[in-house]
C-alpha cells in the first residue's frame, strides 16, 4: 500500500471518520430520500439547490449559492496545501412534471433520479459530517458541494460557470466529480459539439414549381457529405445525424427542414477538425443545391418570361446552424499523474480494485480541458437504470464505496501532523 | 363540326332539352346541396354513392354499382354509334369528420367540396332528366354517372377499375371536373413513394461504426437531387417530407422520406423513376460498404467486433420502398376528334377554349390506355378547391349544363339529325 494511505488508514482520525460514516448511513439515506423527491431537471435546479444549501448550513458550514445555483462551502485547511473542489450534481434528466415517488422492491428502491446523482449529493452531506465529526484537519482547502447542469441540455453549465471565474480557476488544484455508484475512475473527458441545422427556402408545388432549390435536397447533400467524413481512429471520434424532420406533404417542395447533429471525440484536435469540416459541409451543400438549379436556368427560361416573376432557380435555400451543446474535450490524464494515482491508491486502501474508465462525458471535462487535474468517481451503495424510469438504488453498506472518498480527500489534501498532500499545488 | 352544332341547336328535340335544363335550376341546386352534405373522402365514398344511386334510380334510370362504388347508368343508342363514358367524381379531399355546412356568401354557396366535384356530380342528374324530358335518341351508347377515387390517395382507383371492367368498347371519355370552357387533354403521370430506411439503431458514440439509416437516406437524397430530367415533356421530382430518429445522441432505427415523381410522358416518367430508384439502392449500398471497409481496413481497426459481439458494420441498413401513388401518364394529339368536338362546342357558344396540355385527372387513365379522354368544366364556377373556404357560384349554371348536353349529343350522334363526331375505336 502507498505509504501515505498506510499512515492514514492506521490513524485514529481516519478510523473515527469511517466509524462516523458507518453510523450515519440511516441519516444519509433519510436525506437522500428527501432530496430525490424534489424535482431538479437540468436548468431547473433552484428548488433542490435551495434545500441542499439548507442541509449544508445545518452542518454548520458557511454556504455559497452562486448565480446559477451551484451550492458549495469552503473548509479551510491548516495551510501549505492544495485546494480540492469535490462536487456532486444536483440536476437530473427528468422533466419537472415527472411523477416522483419511491417504491421498494426487495433491497432496491425505485425512483427517477434516485441514483444519478442524488445518491452522491446526499453523500456529500455525509462526508461533511465525517470531516467535522472526526476532527480531521486538512492541510489544503476543500471546496465541497453540489453543482447544477451536468445532464443533457445542462451542457455542464454549472461547473463551466464556476471555473469561468478566474479566481476559482486559479484557486483549484484538483477537481473530483462525485457521480454514480460504480467503482470506476474517469480520467478524461469526451468532448461533444451538438447542433441543429435548419434549411429554409420559399417552398412550392412539387410539379408546378420544379426547378426551385429544395431544402430537403440541400439537407440530403449535407448528410451525404457528412456521412463520408473521415473517422480518426487514434482517439475515438464520432459523428451522427440523429434526427431529421421537415416538409408537409408528398407533393410539395418543403419550405423548411432540420437535422440534429452530434459529434464527439476524446481529442480536442480531432473534434475541432471535425467541427470545421462539418461547417464547410453545410455551406458546400447549400451552395451545390442552389447552383444545381442555375444549370437549368436557360432551359427553363420561357417559364420565367412573365414580368415580375422571380425565376424559380433564384429562390435560394439557406441554412442556419444553431449550437445546442458544447462540452470541451478533456484529454485523458496519465495513470501516473498525481490525482489519478492518488485516486487509484485510495480505492486500493479501502480494498477495492478500481476500473479505469478512461474518457467519459462528465463535469470533469471542464477542469481537465483547462489543464486542472480532475477525476470522476462514484459513491456508496449500488444503483442501476440511470436515465430511465426504472432507475433504482440499494443503500446497503453505503460506507464500503464511500469510505475511499474520505480517504482520498485526506490523501490529496494532506492531514495536519500526519501526511503531506499527494496533490501538488499548481503553478499559476 | 360547327354544322353539327347548328343543326342540333336549332332542332326541336334540343329546344325541349334546353327548356328542361333551364326549368330544372332549383332542382339541380337542391340536389347539389343535398349531395355536398354527404361526406365522401377518397376511398370512403360509399354513403355518397348510395345517395347518388338513389337519386339516379328516382329519375327512372337503371343503375350499375360496380365493385369499387362507381355508379352509372347505360343509355343505349340505336347501335350505330360510339360509346362515351361521361362522369364526375364522387369523392372529395375532405376527411369524413370535416364539418359540412352550407353558408351563403351573396349568390355563392360555401361548403367544403361544393365545387370539386359535387357541382358536376349533381349536373349529371340534370343531364339525365333532360334526356328523359326531351325524348332524345342518341346513335351511340352513353354511360353516365359518378366515379370514386379521383383525389389524393384515391389514386384514380375508380376510373382504373372501370377500364379494367371495360377493357374494350369505350370510344371516348369525359370527366367533368375543371374550369369552364377548358380542356385538359393530357395526363401528368405520377409515382409516389414512401422510402424507408431501417437499421439496428444505437448510441451515437458507443455504437459508432454502425451503418446509419439517416446517413443512408442523406446519401440517397443527395443523389436524387442531381438527377437530370427533360424540360419537354415536363418531368419533375421532389422529396416532400423527411422524418426519423428519436434523439440527438442516437443512431436512428428508422427514417423515411416521401418522394413524388411526375411527368407528362410515360417514357420520361419511367426513366426518371428508374434512375431515382437506382440512386436510392446505391446510397444504401454505399453506406453499408463504407463501414464494412472501415472494419476490414487493417488489424487495428476499432470497428472489429468484441468477443461474442456482432460487428457494428454487419448491422446493415435495409431499404423498404412502398408505392403510395401511381397515376399513369398519357398524351394524345390535340387534333383528335373528341378534343376538336369539345372546342367546337365552346366556340359555337362564343367562348375561347382554354387548352390545358397536361394535368392529373381521371382522364389520365383512358389516355394512358389509348382511349381518347378529356377533362372539362361544367356549369357555374367554383373557387378555393381543396380548401375549407371552397365556394360555388351558380351564375350561368343552366347554360353550362346545356353546353354539356349538346356536346354529348354531338359526339354520339342523334337519330334523324346528325352523325356522331366521336369515331368508334378500331
Option in B205, B208, B212 nearest A227 (CB): B212
User: Are A214 and B238 in contact (CB < 8 Å)?
Assistant: yes
Using the Cβ of B217 and the Cβ atoms of chain A, whether some distance falls under 8 Å is answered with: yes
Q: Please report whether residue A299 resides in a domain.
A: yes
Option in A221, A233, A259 nearest B222 (CB): A221
Tell me, yes or no, whether B221 and B338 share the same domain: no
Name every chain B residue with its beta carbon within 8 A of the beta carbon of A249. Answer: 240-241, 258
- Give the span between the Cα atoms of B296 and B285, in whole angstroms: 16
pLDDT for B298: 83
Contacts of B84 (CB under 8 A, 6+ apart): B140, B141, B142, B143, B170, B171, B172, B173, B174, B408, B411, B412, B422
Q: Which residues of A65-88 are buried (b: 16+ CB within 10 A; e: fewer)?
A: bbebbbbbbbbebeeebbbbbbbb
Tell me, yes or no, whether A162 and A17 share the same domain: yes
User: Are A220 and B214 in contact (CB < 8 Å)?
Assistant: no
- Give the span between the Cα atoms of A148 and A72, in whole angstroms: 11
pLDDT for A252: 87
Q: DSSP string spanning A219-279?
A: HHHHHHHHHTS---TTTTEEEEEEEEEE-S-TTEE-SEEEEEEEEEES-HHHHHHHHHHHH
Tell me, yes or no, whether A323 and A199 share the same domain: yes
Q: Is the dihedral of CA B224, B225, B230, B233 positive or negative?
A: positive
A vs B, Cβ pairs < 8 A, gives: 182
Using the Cβ of B219 and the Cβ atoms of chain A, whether some distance falls under 8 Å is answered with: yes
User: Are A238 and B216 in contact (CB < 8 Å)?
Assistant: no
Tell me, yes or no, whether B168 and B178 share the same domain: yes
Q: Please report whether residue B363 resides in a domain.
A: yes
- Give the span between the Cα atoms of B368 and A144, in whole angstroms: 79
Tell me, yes or no, whether B69 and B160 share the same domain: yes
Q: Please report whether residue B105 resides in a domain.
A: yes
Q: Please report whether residue A425 resides in a domain.
A: no
User: Are A241 and B219 in contact (CB < 8 Å)?
Assistant: no
Name every chain B residue with its beta carbon within 8 A of the beta carbon of A239. Answer: 208
Q: Please report whether residue A423 resides in a domain.
A: no
Tell me, yes or no, whether A170 and A306 share the same domain: no
User: Which of A311, A306, A210 shows the shortest CA–CA distance to B232?
Assistant: A210
Shortest Cα–Cα distance, B197 to chain A (Å) = 13
Tell me, yes or no, whether A345 and A276 share the same domain: no
Name every chain A residue with its beta carbon within 8 A of the beta carbon of B224. Answer: 217, 220
DSSP summary character for residue B273:
H
Shortest Cα–Cα distance, A158 to chain B (Å) = 21
User: Angle formed by the axes of helices B118-134 and B397-412, to 10°?
Assistant: 60
Q: Which residues of B196-211 are buried (b: 16+ CB within 10 A; e: fewer)?
A: bbbbbbbebbebbbbb
Shortest Cα–Cα distance, B221 to chain A (Å) = 5
State residue A287 phi and psi, 5-degree precision: -60, -45
CATH of the domain at B231: 3.30.70.360
Q: Mapping DSSP to helix (H, G, I), strand (E, B) and coil, where does residue B73 land?
A: strand
Using the Cβ of B78 and the Cβ atoms of chain A, whether some distance falls under 8 Å is answered with: no
Q: Which helix (H) or strand (E) holds B216?
A: helix B213-224
Tell me, yes or no, whether A125 and A16 share the same domain: yes
Tell me, yes or no, whether B159 and B14 share the same domain: yes
Name every chain B residue with its beta carbon within 8 A of the beta carbon of A227. Answer: 212, 215-216, 218-219, 287, 290
Tell me, yes or no, whether A279 and A364 share the same domain: no
What is the rounded (10 degree) CA torsion for A259, A264, A270, A272? 50
C-alpha cell at A191: 468532448
Contacts of B373 (CB under 8 A, 6+ apart): B172, B173, B174, B175, B187, B330, B332, B338, B362, B363, B365, B366, B367
Shortest Cα–Cα distance, A314 to chain B (Å) = 16
Of A309, A327, A345, the domain-final residue:
A327
Tell me, yes or no, whether A79 and A132 share the same domain: yes
Residue stretches of chain A with pLDDT short of 50: none
User: Are B192 and A250 in contact (CB < 8 Å)?
Assistant: yes
User: Are B215 and A241 in contact (CB < 8 Å)?
Assistant: yes
User: Are B245 and A244 in contact (CB < 8 Å)?
Assistant: yes
DSSP summary character for residue B310:
-
User: Which of A14, A108, A75, A80 shows the shortest CA–CA distance to A408?
Assistant: A14
Shortest Cα–Cα distance, A252 to chain B (Å) = 5
Option in B215, B246, B258 nearest A223 (CB): B215
State residue A34 phi and psi, 5-degree precision: -65, -45
State residue A104 phi and psi, 5-degree precision: -100, 135
CATH of the domain at B45: 3.40.630.10
Of B274, B305, B327, the domain-final residue:
B327
Q: Please report whether residue B306 resides in a domain.
A: yes
**Structural domain of residue B311, as residue ranges?**
189-327
Per-residue pLDDT tens, chain B, 426 aa: give them.
Answer: 999 999 999 999 999 999 999 999 999 999 999 999 999 999 999 999 999 999 999 999 999 999 999 999 999 999 989 999 999 999 999 999 999 999 999 999 999 999 999 999 999 999 999 999 999 999 999 999 999 999 988 999 999 999 999 999 999 999 999 999 999 999 999 999 999 999 998 888 888 999 999 999 999 999 999 999 999 899 999 999 999 998 888 899 999 999 999 999 999 999 999 999 999 999 999 999 999 999 888 888 888 776 666 777 788 999 999 999 999 999 999 999 999 999 999 999 999 999 999 999 999 999 999 999 999 999 999 998 888 889 999 999 999 999 999 999 999 999 999 999 999 998
Task: Name the burial class of residue A166, with classes exposed (0-12), middle (13-18) and buried (19+) by CB atoms within 10 angstroms of its CB.
Answer: exposed
User: Are B236 and A260 in contact (CB < 8 Å)?
Assistant: no
C-alpha cell at B255: 427514417
Entry field: residues in chain A: 428
Q: For residue B216, what is the nearest residue in chain A, using CA coordinates?
A: A224
pLDDT digits (tens, 9 = 90+) for A323-382: 999 999 999 999 999 999 999 999 999 999 999 999 999 999 999 999 999 999 999 999
Decide: A219 and B218 in contact? Cβ < 8 Å: yes
Q: Please report whether residue B419 resides in a domain.
A: no
- Give the span between the Cα atoms of A421 and A81, in whole angstroms: 6
Tell me, yes or no, whether B286 and B210 share the same domain: yes
Cα–Cα separations (whole angstroms), residue B67 to B64, B71, B343, B355, B426: 10, 10, 34, 34, 28
Using the Cβ of B224 and the Cβ atoms of chain A, whether some distance falls under 8 Å is answered with: yes
pLDDT for B279: 98
Decide: B26 and B128 in contact? Cβ < 8 Å: no
Option in A210, A217, A247 nearest B236 (CB): A210
- Give the span between the Cα atoms of B99 and A300, in whole angstroms: 42
Count of helix runs (H) and strand runs (E) in chain A: 12, 18
Domain tally for chain A? 2
**Structural domain of residue A281, as residue ranges?**
191-327
User: Which of B220, B98, B177 shows the shortest CA–CA distance to B379?
Assistant: B177
Domain tally for chain B? 2
Q: Please report whether residue B426 resides in a domain.
A: no
Option in B220, B248, B258 nearest A324 (CB): B248
Contacts of A110 (CB under 8 A, 6+ apart): A102, A103, A104, A390, A391, A392
Using the Cβ of B361 and the Cβ atoms of chain A, whether some distance falls under 8 Å is answered with: no
Amino acid at each position: 500500500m502507498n505509504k501515505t494511505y498506510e499512515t492514514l488508514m492506521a490513524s485514529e482520525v481516519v478510523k473515527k471518520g469511517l466509524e462516523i460514516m458507518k453510523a450515519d448511513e440511516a441519516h444519509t439515506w433519510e436525506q437522500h430520500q428527501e432530496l430525490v423527491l424534489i424535482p431538479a431537471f437540468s436548468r431547473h435546479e433552484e428548488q433542490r439547490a435551495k434545500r441542499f444549501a439548507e442541509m449544508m448550513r445545518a452542518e454548520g458550514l458557511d454556504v455559497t449559492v452562486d448565480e446559477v445555483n451551484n451550492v458549495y462551502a469552503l473548509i479551510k485547511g491548516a495551510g501549505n496545501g492544495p485546494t480540492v473542489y469535490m462536487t456532486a450534481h444536483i440536476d437530473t434528466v427528468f422533466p419537472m412534471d415527472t411523477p416522483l415517488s419511491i417504491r421498494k422492491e426487495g433491497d432496491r428502491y425505485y425512483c427517477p433520479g434516485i441514483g444519478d446523482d442524488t445518491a452522491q449529493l446526499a453523500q456529500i452531506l455525509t462526508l461533511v459530517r465525517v470531516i467535522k465529526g472526526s476532527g480531521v484537519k486538512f492541510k489544503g482547502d476543500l471546496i465541497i458541494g453540489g453543482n447544477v447542469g451536468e445532464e443533457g441540455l445542462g451542457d455542464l453549465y454549472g461547473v463551466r460557470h464556476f471555473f469561468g471565474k478566474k479566481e476559482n480557476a486559479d484557486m483549484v488544484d484538483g477537481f473530483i466529480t462525485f457521480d454514480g455508484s460504480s467503482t470506476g475512475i474517469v480520467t478524461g473527458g469526451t468532448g461533444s459539439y451538438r447542433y441543429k441545422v435548419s434549411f429554409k427556402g420559399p417552398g412550392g408545388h412539387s410539379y408546378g414549381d420544379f426547378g426551385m432549390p429544395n431544402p430537403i435536397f440541400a439537407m440530403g447533400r449535407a448528410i451525404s457529405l457528412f456521412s463520408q467524413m473521415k473517422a480518426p481512429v487514434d482517439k475515438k471520434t464520432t459523428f451522427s445525424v440523429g434526427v431529421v424532420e421537415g416538409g408537409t406533404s408528398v407533393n410539395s417542395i418543403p419550405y423548411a427542414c432540420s437535422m440534429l447533429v452530434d459529434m464527439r471525440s476524446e481529442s480536442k484536435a480531432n473534434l475541432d477538425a471535425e467541427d470545421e469540416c462539418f461547417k464547410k459541409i453545410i455551406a458546400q451543400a447549400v451552395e451545390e443545391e442552389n447552383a444545381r438549379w442555375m444549370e437549368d436556368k436557360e432551359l427553363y427560361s420561357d417559364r420565367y418570361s412573365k414580368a415580375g416573376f422571380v425565376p424559380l432557380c433564384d429562390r435560394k435555400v439557406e441554412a442556419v446552424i444553431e449550437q445546442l451543446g458544447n462540452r470541451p474535450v478533456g484529454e485523458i490524464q496519465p495513470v501516473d499523474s498525481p490525482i489519478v494515482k492518488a485516486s487509484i491508491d485510495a480505492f486500493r486502501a479501502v480494498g477495492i480494485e478500481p476500473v479505469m474508465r478512461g474518457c467519459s462525458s462528465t463535469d470533469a471535462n471542464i477542469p481537465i480541458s483547462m489543464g486542472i487535474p480532475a477525476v470522476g468517481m462514484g459513491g456508496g451503495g449500488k444503483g442501476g437504470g440511470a436515465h430511465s424510469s426504472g432507475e433504482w438504488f440499494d443503500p446497503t453498506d453505503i460506507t464500503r464505496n464511500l469510505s475511499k472518498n474520505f480517504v482520498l480527500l485526506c490523501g490529496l489534501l494532506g492531514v495536519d501532523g500526519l501526511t503531506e498532500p499527494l496533490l501538488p499545488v499548481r503553478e499559476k | 363540326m360547327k354544322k353539327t352544332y347548328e343543326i342540333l341547336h336549332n332542332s326541336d328535340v334540343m329546344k325541349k332539352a334546353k327548356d328542361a335544363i333551364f326549368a330544372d335550376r332549383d332542382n339541380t341546386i337542391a340536389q347539389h346541396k343535398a349531395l355536398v352534405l354527404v361526406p365522401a373522402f377518397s376511398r370512403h365514398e360509399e354513403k355518397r354513392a348510395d345517395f347518388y344511386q338513389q337519386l339516379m334510380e328516382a329519375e327512372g334510370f337503371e343503375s350499375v354499382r360496380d365493385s369499387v362504388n362507381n355508379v352509372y347508368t347505360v343509355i343505349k343508342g340505336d347501335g350505330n354509334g360510339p360509346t362515351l363514358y361521361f362522369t364526375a367524381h364522387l369523392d372529395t379531399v375532405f376527411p369524413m369528420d370535416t364539418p359540412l355546412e352550407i353558408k351563403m356568401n351573396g349568390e355563392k354557396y360555401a361548403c367544403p367540396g361544393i365545387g370539386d366535384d359535387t357541382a358536376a356530380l349533381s349536373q349529371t342528374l340534370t343531364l339525365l332528366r333532360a334526356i328523359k324530358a326531351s325524348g332524345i335518341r342518341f346513335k351511340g351508347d352513353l354511360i353516365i354517372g359518378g366515379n370514386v377515387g379521383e383525389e389524393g390517395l384515391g389514386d384514380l382507383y375508380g376510373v382504373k377499375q372501370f377500364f379494367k371492367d371495360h377493357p374494350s368498347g369505350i370510344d371516348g371519355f369525359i370527366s367533368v371536373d375543371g374550369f369552364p370552357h377548358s380542356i385538359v387533354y393530357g395526363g401528368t403521370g405520377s409515382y409516389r413513394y414512401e422510402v424507408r430506411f431501417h437499421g439496428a439503431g444505437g448510441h451515437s458514440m458507443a455504437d459508432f461504426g454502425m451503418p446509419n439509416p439517416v446517413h443512408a437516406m442523406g446519401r440517397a437524397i443527395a443523389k436524387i437531387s442531381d438527377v437530370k430530367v427533360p424540360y419537354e415533356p415536363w418531368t419533375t421530382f421532389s422529396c416532400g417530407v423527411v422524418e426519423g430518429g428519436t434523439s440527438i445522441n442516437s443512431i436512428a432505427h428508422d427514417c423515411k422520406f416521401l418522394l413524388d415523381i411526375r411527368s407528362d410522358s410515360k417514357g420520361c416518367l419511367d426513366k426518371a423513376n428508374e434512375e431515382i430508384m437506382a440512386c436510392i439502392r446505391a446510397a444504401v449500398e454505399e453506406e453499408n460498404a463504407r463501414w464494412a471497409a472501415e472494419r476490414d481496413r487493417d488489424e487495428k481497426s476499432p470497428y472489429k467486433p468484441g468477443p461474442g459481439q456482432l460487428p457494428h458494420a454487419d448491422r446493415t441498413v435495409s431499404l423498404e420502398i412502398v408505392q403510395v401513388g401511381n397515376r399513369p401518364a398519357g398524351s394524345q394529339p390535340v387534333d383528335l376528334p373528341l378534343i376538336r368536338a369539345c372546342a367546337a362546342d365552346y366556340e359555337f357558344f362564343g367562348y375561347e377554349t382554354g387548352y390545358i396540355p397536361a394535368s392529373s385527372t381521371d382522364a389520365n387513365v383512358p389516355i394512358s390506355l389509348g382511349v381518347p379522354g378529356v377533362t372539362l368544366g361544367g356549369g357555374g364556377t367554383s373557387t378555393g378547391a381543396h380548401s375549407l373556404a371552397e365556394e360555388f357560384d351558380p351564375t350561368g349554371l343552366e347554360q353550362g349544363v346545356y353546353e354539356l348536353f349538346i356536346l354529348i349529343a354531338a359526339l354520339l350522334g342523334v337519330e334523324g339529325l346528325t352523325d356522331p363526331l366521336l369515331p368508334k375505336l378500331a
